[in-house]
């Protein structure tokens, strides 16, 4: 992690953490030097945050090569030089009651992260999305270390629990948002907030509709369905049987090639085991070529999230489906202030993309909605047209949110 600083700093191993956690104890190595003053600790808790973290780290390095980084993240942040304190998927949890079985392990990870940050003594702590874990870390450390706290991706206070704006204002020094209407919610509580643009658009998208079929030898006489079941293990457990049940129903009426995009190798193995055990045919599971798949697919089945926006950008019609623990779903229903969960529908304030949530998230309902898109060109074309219009409204003049974000972070550094 710190090889590039070997000529500048004296290497001092400080200590080894061991919390009886089910992975190897993490050896913390800190570089110290009397002139070293720029240190950033950065935390991402899920795959979309991991990508944002890697973009920001890369941009910060371009703008200031003297910063030393530590943090928690996934493969993308690791490719940017961040050796994660522990595997990111151990905090990739969503829901209220879903978290309860992991609560003691999460407490150990929180303690580990807090102790590491205290020893590292960063100038800035950056947290990305995952407010449950990230806010807890920041609130414990606030006033305990001489550091500024920056959060990226505002909690959706406009959707539910608006009191979180005041809570965040007490802990954070800077909030960077991806939606233009969010800053006022937090600025009125005294938190400096800046709209930096949507990181989803800061990617190179696929423009070739045939490349995926050619690469994987998918016959043109087959309809192609792309499925994104989620990046968390809990999501896979909730969605896999339902989503693949819909595939089996569709296979009765269509010559169908189904591609499942797995977020990591562990999830790929889980899906493959299920597919083999249940003898489901014409299923391709891949870790690669995500955007090529989105562009080529005739229709997509997406769990709600960033992936749904990426699919829409590629001009592919889709159905969004998601299922939480029954008690979690009941709680969210009681506090939510918006009608929809999909960002495109929220922007439009109407259902452009069909949402099948909780009790409506069934194999039969999903198959029915996907069949409508596959068989009815008018419905398909209308969704694409309406979605692309909303995407234009969602875009900003900020082509590279990571550059704007890095500039804001360096200003307080």
User: Which range has highest mean pLDDT (97-101, 214-218, 300-304)?
Assistant: 214-218
pTM: 0.81
327-383 pLDDT, tens digit per residue, is: 666 666 666 767 888 999 998 999 999 999 988 999 999 999 999 999 999 999 999
Q: Are residues 106 and 231 in the same domain?
A: no
The answer to the question of residue 77 being in a domain is: yes
Q: Are residues 310 and 230 in the same domain?
A: yes
Q: Is the pLDDT of residue 8 over 50?
A: no
Q: What is the mean pLDDT of residues 25-44?
A: 64
Residue bearing tokens 């009765």: 252
Q: Are residues 379 and 403 in the same domain?
A: no
Instruction: Supply the pLDDT for residue 374.
Output: 97
Q: What is the mean pLDDT of residues 51-65?
A: 96
The answer to the question of residue 280 being in a domain is: yes
Q: Is the pLDDT of residue 411 over 50?
A: yes
The answer to the question of residue 7 being in a domain is: no
237-259 pLDDT, tens digit per residue, is: 888 999 999 999 999 999 999 99
The answer to the question of residue 81 being in a domain is: yes
Q: Are residues 257 and 389 in the same domain?
A: yes
Counted domains in the chain: 2
The answer to the question of residue 26 being in a domain is: no
Task: Name the average pLDDT for the chain.
Answer: 87
CATH classification of the domain holding 317: 3.40.50.2000
Q: Is the pLDDT of residue 1 over 60?
A: no
Q: Are residues 242 and 326 in the same domain?
A: yes
The answer to the question of residue 254 being in a domain is: yes
Q: Are residues 390 and 405 in the same domain?
A: no
What range does the domain containing 367 cover? 211-394
Q: Is the pLDDT of residue 179 over 60?
A: yes
Residue 343, Cβ density class (10 Å: 0-12 exposed, 13-18 middle, ≥19 buried): buried
Q: Are residues 132 and 172 in the same domain?
A: yes
């Amino acid at each position: 992690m710190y090889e590039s600083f070997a000529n500048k700093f004296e290497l001092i191993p400080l200590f080894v953490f061991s919390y009886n956690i089910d992975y190897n104890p993490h050896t913390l190595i800190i570089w110290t030097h009397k002139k070293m003053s720029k240190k950033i600790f950065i935390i991402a808790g899920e795959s979309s945050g991991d990508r944002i973290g890697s973009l920001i780290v890369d941009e910060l390095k371009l703008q200031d090569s003297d910063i030393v980084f530590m943090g928690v993240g996934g493969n993308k942040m690791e490719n940017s030089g961040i050796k994660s304190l522990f595997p990111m998927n151990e905090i990739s949890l969503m829901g209220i009651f879903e978290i309860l079985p992991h609560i003691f392990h999460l407490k150990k990870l929180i303690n580990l992260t807090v102790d590491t940050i205290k020893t590292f003594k960063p100038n800035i702590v950056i947290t990305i999305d995952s407010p449950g874990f990230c806010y807890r870390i920041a609130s414990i450390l606030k006033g305990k270390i001489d550091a500024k706290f920056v959060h990226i991706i505002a909690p959706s206070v406009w959707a539910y629990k608006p009191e979180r704006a005041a809570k965040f204002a007490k802990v954070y020094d800077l909030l960077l948002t991806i939606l233009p209407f969010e800053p006022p919610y937090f600025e009125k509580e005294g938190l400096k907030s800046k709209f930096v643009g949507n990181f989803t658009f800061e990617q190179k998208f696929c423009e070739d509709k045939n490349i995926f079929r050619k690469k994987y030898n998918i016959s043109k006489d087959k309809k192609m369905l792309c499925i994104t079941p989620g990046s968390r293990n809990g999501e896979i457990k909730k969605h896999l049987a339902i989503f693949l049940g819909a595939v089996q129903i569709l296979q009765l009426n269509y010559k169908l090639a189904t591609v499942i995009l797995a977020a990591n190798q562990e999830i790929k193995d889980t899906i493959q085991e299920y597919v083999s055990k249940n003898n489901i045919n014409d299923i391709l599971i891949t870790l690669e070529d995500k955007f090529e798949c989105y562009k080529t697919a005739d229709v997509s089945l997406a769990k709600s999230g960033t992936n749904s926006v990426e699919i829409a950008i590629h001009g592919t019609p889709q159905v969004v489906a998601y299922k939480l623990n029954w008690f979690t779903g009941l709680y969210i229903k009681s506090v939510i202030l918006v009608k929809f969960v999909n960002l495109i529908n929220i922007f439009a304030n109407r259902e452009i993309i069909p949402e099948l949530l909780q009790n409506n998230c069934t194999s039969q309902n999903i198959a029915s909605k996907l069949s409508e898109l596959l068989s009815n060109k008018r419905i398909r074309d209308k969704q694409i047209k309406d979605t692309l219009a909303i995407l234009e409204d969602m875009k900003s003049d900020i082509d590279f949110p990571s550059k704007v974000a890095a500039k804001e972070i360096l200003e307080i550094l």
